[in-house]
């Protein structure tokens, strides 16, 4: 609205549309940013320096639309540039104000307006609105606009509802979240393998139903799927979903779980949306800290897979277990599966590889491992020179 109103005002004052140059690319960017972080403000600086607007006019809706500079550096640079090139600034609202920087009084008035704009951020936004929003989220349990709603939740915007401004589960999406947890467990807790599987066959979140407020759909940060619906495109999105404690009833506000005045964790829902065992399986493999902020130690080693590789992984990978030691599955011998068992024996780590069962020695070795002790197996293996 402000952009169109400024153009209409300028035309009514007698300027032709052809000589009005728009610098509107900074819409949505904060006035607290440096000029080099605001594309059109930087372009305006360069055009003034180049003499393109000598003896011209800069029109803005209000002074605070130009700057909210707490450092007081950049609006003073702007003043010096305009003064050197005889450029005046016109503020249209709430009342017309013309700043000719050849006049010291008008220059100081413009400086005061810019300083007032910066102080508004410090006093009103940072000093009152942000703390009030934090209190609404921490004490009252409201969403309060802190980040995007977690996947599987929507914000209740119905003013007559008892859960007004609170996060409520959205069942069609919660079911898909649960499928992600189940897939992660089925693949042995390997996030790279999970990500690769989801790239090949994504779990699709359905479109929002008609009764859901459109603001929830606008803030849903997953990628659109070509066939309809949504899917998590990046690995970070999947990890964030698998480590969010809200699925077991705990909501975090700016990374800290809500607590009572006595320090007890607040449970948002009576029943967890994801089974606790399923959630803990994912959380303690992927999260960096526990629910109290303590670092999680003894994390499993990371495994890496090439994203563009077309090689297949074994169906039993990370699923084979043995009471004799850790089992590692690898592809060898012309893409046939070979299983390796490692065991500490007499101070050394010994590894035995089980080849396909058509091998005579592999069949005997399998029999020894299933019926005899490890020491017997070692003696037999040494005797037969396997």
pLDDT of 177 over the 80 cut: yes
Asked if the structure places residue 250 within a domain, the reply is: yes
Residues 158 and 251 placed together within one structural domain of the fold: yes
Give which of 60, 75, 62, 69 is closest to 31, Cα–Cα. 69
Residues 64 and 108 placed together within one structural domain of the fold: yes
Q: Which range is least confidently modeled, 77-81, 200-204, 346-350?
A: 346-350
pLDDT of 193 over the 70 cut: yes
- Cα 134 to Cα 125: distance, rounded to the nearest angstrom: 12
Cβ-contact 339, 327 below 8 angstroms: yes
CATH number at residue 168: 3.90.1750.20
Residues 231 and 192 placed together within one structural domain of the fold: yes
- Cα 165 to Cα 158: distance, rounded to the nearest angstrom: 8
Residues 100 and 38 placed together within one structural domain of the fold: yes
Asked if the structure places residue 306 within a domain, the reply is: no
Asked if the structure places residue 222 within a domain, the reply is: yes
Going by pLDDT thresholds of 50, 70 and 90, the confidence category of residue 381 is very low
Cβ-contact 190, 197 below 8 angstroms: no
- Cα 338 to Cα 325: distance, rounded to the nearest angstrom: 15
Q: Which residue, of 102, 122, 142, is where some domain finishes?
A: 122
- Cα 106 to Cα 99: distance, rounded to the nearest angstrom: 6
For residue 26, the model assigns a pLDDT of 66
**Which residues constitute the domain of residue 250?**
153-286
The domain tally of the chain equals 3
CATH number at residue 63: 3.40.50
Residues 380 and 334 placed together within one structural domain of the fold: yes
Cβ-contact 73, 34 below 8 angstroms: no
Q: Which range is least confidently modeled, 120-124, 172-176, 382-386?
A: 382-386
For residue 309, the model assigns a pLDDT of 56
Residues 167 and 282 placed together within one structural domain of the fold: yes
Asked if the structure places residue 299 within a domain, the reply is: no
For residue 324, the model assigns a pLDDT of 59
Give which of 36, 3, 34 is closest to 20, Cα–Cα. 3
Residues 31 and 102 placed together within one structural domain of the fold: yes
What integer is the mean pLDDT of 356-364? 48
pLDDT tens, 141-152?
888 887 789 999
Residues 217 and 108 placed together within one structural domain of the fold: no
Query: Could you give the residue ranges of the DSSP H alpha helices within 19-103?
Result: 39-49, 74-84
pLDDT, the chain, mean:
81
Residues 251 and 370 placed together within one structural domain of the fold: no
- Cα 145 to Cα 155: distance, rounded to the nearest angstrom: 10
- Cα 212 to Cα 322: distance, rounded to the nearest angstrom: 50
For residue 384, the model assigns a pLDDT of 42
DSSP assignment string, 142-188: --TT-SPPPTTEEE---TTSTTTTSEEE-HHHHHHHHHHHHHHHHTT
Tell whether omega for the bond before 94 is within 30 degrees of 0, i.e. cis.
yes
Listed in sequence order, the residues at least 6 apart from 320 whose beta carbon sits closer than 8 Å to its beta carbon are 327, 329, 339
Asked if the structure places residue 35 within a domain, the reply is: yes
Residues 113 and 38 placed together within one structural domain of the fold: yes
pTM given for the model: 0.54
Cβ-contact 110, 81 below 8 angstroms: no
For residue 136, the model assigns a pLDDT of 85
Listed in sequence order, the residues at least 6 apart from 205 whose beta carbon sits closer than 8 Å to its beta carbon are 151, 172, 173, 176, 222, 229, 230, 231
Give which of 295, 317, 149 is closest to 221, Cα–Cα. 149
Asked if the structure places residue 296 within a domain, the reply is: no
pLDDT tens, 273-309?
999 999 999 999 999 999 988 898 755 555 555 555 5
Query: Could you give the residue ranges of the DSSP H alpha helices within the chain?
Result: 2-12, 39-49, 74-84, 104-120, 130-138, 171-186, 191-200, 214-218, 235-242, 276-286, 360-371, 374-384
Give which of 352, 364, 300, 303 is closest to 325, Cα–Cα. 352
pLDDT tens, 234-248?
999 999 999 999 999
Three-state DSSP state, 189: coil
pLDDT tens, 93-108?
888 999 999 999 999 9
Asked if the structure places residue 253 within a domain, the reply is: yes
Residues 159 and 279 placed together within one structural domain of the fold: yes
The residue written with tokens 């964790």 in the block is 265
Asked if the structure places residue 172 within a domain, the reply is: yes
Residues 332 and 272 placed together within one structural domain of the fold: no
């Amino acid at each position: 609205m402000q952009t169109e109103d400024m153009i209409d005002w300028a035309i009514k004052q007698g300027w032709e549309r052809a000589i009005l140059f728009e610098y509107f690319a900074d819409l949505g960017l904060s006035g607290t940013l440096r000029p080099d972080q605001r594309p059109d403000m930087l372009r305006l600086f360069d055009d003034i320096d180049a003499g393109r607007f000598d003896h011209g006019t800069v029109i803005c809706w209000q002074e605070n639309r130009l700057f909210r500079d707490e450092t007081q550096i950049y609006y003073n640079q702007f003043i010096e540039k305009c003064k050197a090139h005889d450029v005046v600034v016109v503020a249209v609202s709430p009342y017309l104000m013309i700043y000719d920087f050849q006049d010291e009084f008008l220059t100081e008035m413009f400086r005061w307006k810019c300083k007032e704009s910066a102080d508004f951020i410090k006093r009103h936004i940072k000093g009152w609105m942000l703390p009030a929003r934090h209190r609404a989220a921490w004490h009252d349990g409201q969403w309060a606009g802190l980040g995007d709603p977690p996947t599987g939740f929507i914000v209740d915007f119905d003013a007559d509802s008892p859960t007004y401004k609170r996060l409520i589960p959205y069942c069609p999406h919660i079911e898909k979240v649960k499928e992600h947890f189940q897939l992660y467990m089925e693949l042995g807790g390997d996030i790279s393998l999970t990500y690769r599987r989801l790239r090949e066959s994504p779990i699709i979140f359905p479109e929002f139903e008609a009764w859901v407020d459109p603001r929830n759909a606008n803030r849903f940060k997953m990628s659109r799927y070509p066939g309809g619906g949504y899917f998590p495109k990046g690995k970070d999105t999947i990890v964030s979903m698998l480590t969010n404690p809200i699925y077991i009833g705990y909501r975090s506000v700016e990374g800290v779980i809500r607590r009572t005045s006595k320090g007890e964790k607040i449970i948002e829902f009576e029943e967890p949306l994801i089974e606790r065992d399923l959630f803990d399986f994912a959380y303690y493999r992927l999260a960096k800290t526990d629910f109290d902020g303590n670092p999680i130690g003894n994390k499993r080693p990371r495994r890496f897979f090439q994203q563009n590789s077309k090689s297949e992984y074994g169906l039993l990978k990370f699923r084979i277990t043995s009471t004799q030691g850790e089992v590692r599955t690898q592809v060898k011998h012309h893409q046939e599966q070979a299983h390796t068992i490692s065991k500490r024996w007499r101070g050394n780590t010994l590894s035995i590889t089980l080849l396909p069962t058509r091998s005579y020695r592999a069949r005997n070795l399998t029999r020894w491992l299933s019926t005899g002790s490890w020491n017997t197996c070692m003696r037999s293996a040494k005797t037969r020179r396997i």
